[in-house]
C-alpha cells in the first residue's frame, strides 16, 4: 500500500507550547502538574505526560470544582489547558493557592481579546463554534453576557435583535467556508457587522493539505486524532465530503486491514493534538498492508 502523508499533520505550535509549559513546570517529575481538564485532546499524549506527573483533573469543559491533593514530597502547580478558560475560571484556579501557569494557545488568547474589547465597547459578539467546546465556553466568559454562539444558519435566525453594534469571531478550529457563509448572512442583517476571521492558520493548513491528498490520488483517507478533538473531527468530515472513504483512528491498533486493503493509495493526516510517534506508527502499519 502506498501512503501519502499530508504536509501539515500533527502538533500545531499552540499544542507544542502547552506541552512544553507542562513539562517545564513538571521538571521531569520533580513537581506535580495539575491540568484543568485535558491539556490537549489526545489521551495517548496525556498518558505519556502522566509519566512526568502531569495529571489531568476536573472535566472536559473545566466546570467542576477541583479537589487537589497536596503532595508532601513535592510542590504542585496548576497549568491552564491549550483551549483557554473564562476569566471566572482563571480567578477560581488562581484562588486555589498553587503556583499558576497559563498554557492557553496565543491564537485563542487573541480571540478572547477581541471578544473582551468589543463587549466592553457595547458590541454584541456572535461566536461561530460548538457551544459545548471548552474554547467556546472560555470565550463566552469574556463577553460579559453579550456573547451568542451559532453553528448553523438556523442558529442565526434564532438570535435576538441587536440594537447596537455587532461583531463576529470564530472558534479557532472551524471550517473557513462555513464561517464565511454565516458571516455573510449576518452582514445582510447588520450592515455594520465587524468580522474577524479567527480560524487559526494551522487549521486552515490542515484543511487545504487534506484537499491536496485527494488531488494526489488518495483513494481513502485516514485521519488520526482524539475522538474529542474538534479539529480532527472536522478533518474527517472534510475528507468524507470529497467522496473518499474516511477512517478516523486514534492509534495504529484501530486500523482494520480488511477495510483498508482494497485501496492501493491511502492519504494520512492528523489533528493538531496528535503526537508524531502515533502518526509514524499508523503510516508504518498502513505500509505493511
Same-domain pairing of 17 and 99: yes
Q: Please say if the pLDDT value at position 229 is more than 90.
A: no
Q: Please say if the pLDDT value at position 69 is more than 80.
A: no
Same-domain pairing of 164 and 211: no
Judged by average pLDDT, the poorest of 49-58, 69-78, 114-123, 136-145 is 69-78
Number of domains in the chain: 3
Report the CATH number at residue 140.
3.40.1010.20
Same-domain pairing of 93 and 117: no
Report the CATH number at residue 54.
3.40.50.11270
Judged by average pLDDT, the poorest of 69-78, 125-134, 155-164, 268-277 is 69-78
Same-domain pairing of 284 and 206: yes
Same-domain pairing of 168 and 233: no
Q: Is 135 a catalytic residue?
A: yes
What is the predicted pLDDT for the residue at 40?
87
CB 128 within 8 A of CB 186: no
Same-domain pairing of 111 and 186: yes
What is the predicted pLDDT for the residue at 71?
66
Q: Which residues, in sequence order, are CB contacts of 107 under 8 Å at separation 6+?
A: 14, 172, 198, 200, 201
Q: What is the mean pLDDT of residues 206-230?
A: 93
Q: Which of 145, 167, 195 finishes a domain?
A: 195
Q: Please say if the pLDDT value at position 68 is more than 90.
A: no
Same-domain pairing of 137 and 177: yes
pLDDT tens-place string over residues 175-184: 999 999 999 9
Q: Which of 195, 210, 232 finishes a domain?
A: 195
> Which listed residue (25, 52, 56, 135) is catalytic?
135
Same-domain pairing of 113 and 100: no
Same-domain pairing of 39 and 100: yes
Q: Which residues, in sequence order, are CB contacts of 148 under 8 Å at separation 6+?
A: 124, 125, 126, 127, 159, 160
Domain carrying residue 186? 107-195
Most confident of 165-169, 174-178, 224-228: 165-169
What is the predicted pLDDT for the residue at 228?
83
Angle value at C-alpha 6, between 266 and 132, nearest 5 degrees: 100
Q: Which of 78, 104, 130 finishes a domain?
A: 104
Amino acid at each position: 500500500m502506498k501512503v501519502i502523508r499530508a504536509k501539515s499533520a500533527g502538533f500545531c505550535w499552540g499544542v507544542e507550547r502547552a506541552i512544553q509549559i507542562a513539562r517545564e513546570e513538571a521538571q521531569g517529575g520533580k513537581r506535580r502538574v495539575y491540568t484543568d481538564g485535558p491539556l490537549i485532546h489526545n489521551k495517548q499524549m496525556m498518558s505519556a505526560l502522566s509519566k512526568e506527573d502531569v495529571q489531568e483533573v476536573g472535566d472536559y469543559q473545566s466546570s467542576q470544582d477541583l479537589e487537589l491533593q497536596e503532595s508532601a514530597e513535592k510542590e504542585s502547580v496548576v497549568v491552564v489547558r491549550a483551549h483557554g478558560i473564562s476569566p471566572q475560571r482563571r480567578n477560581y484556579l488562581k484562588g486555589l493557592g498553587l503556583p499558576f501557569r497559563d498554557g492557553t494557545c496565543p491564537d485563542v488568547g487573541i480571540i478572547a481579546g477581541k471578544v473582551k474589547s468589543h463587549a466592553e465597547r457595547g458590541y454584541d459578539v456572535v461566536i461561530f463554534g460548538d457551544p459545548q467546546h471548552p474554547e467556546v465556553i472560555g470565550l463566552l466568559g469574556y463577553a460579559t453576557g453579550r456573547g451568542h454562539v451559532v453553528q448553523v444558519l438556523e442558529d442565526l435566525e434564532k438570535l435576538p435583535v441587536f440594537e447596537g453594534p455587532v461583531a463576529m469571531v470564530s472558534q479557532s478550529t472551524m471550517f473557513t467556508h462555513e464561517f464565511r457563509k454565516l458571516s455573510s448572512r449576518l452582514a445582510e442583517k447588520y450592515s455594520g457587522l465587524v468580522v474577524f476571521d479567527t480560524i487559526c492558520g494551522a487549521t486552515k493548513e490542515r484543511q487545504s493539505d487534506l484537499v491536496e491528498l485527494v488531488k494526489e490520488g488518495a483513494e481513502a483517507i485516514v485521519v488520526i486524532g482524539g475522538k474529542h478533538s474538534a479539529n480532527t473531527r472536522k478533518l474527517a468530515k472534510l475528507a468524507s465530503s470529497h467522496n473518499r472513504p474516511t477512517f478516523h483512528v486514534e492509534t495504529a491498533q484501530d486500523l482494520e486491514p480488511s477495510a483498508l486493503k482494497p485501496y492501493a493509495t491511502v492519504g494520512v493526516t492528523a489533528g493538531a493534538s496528535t503526537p508524531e510517534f502515533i502518526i509514524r506508527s499508523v503510516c508504518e502499519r498502513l505500509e505493511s498492508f
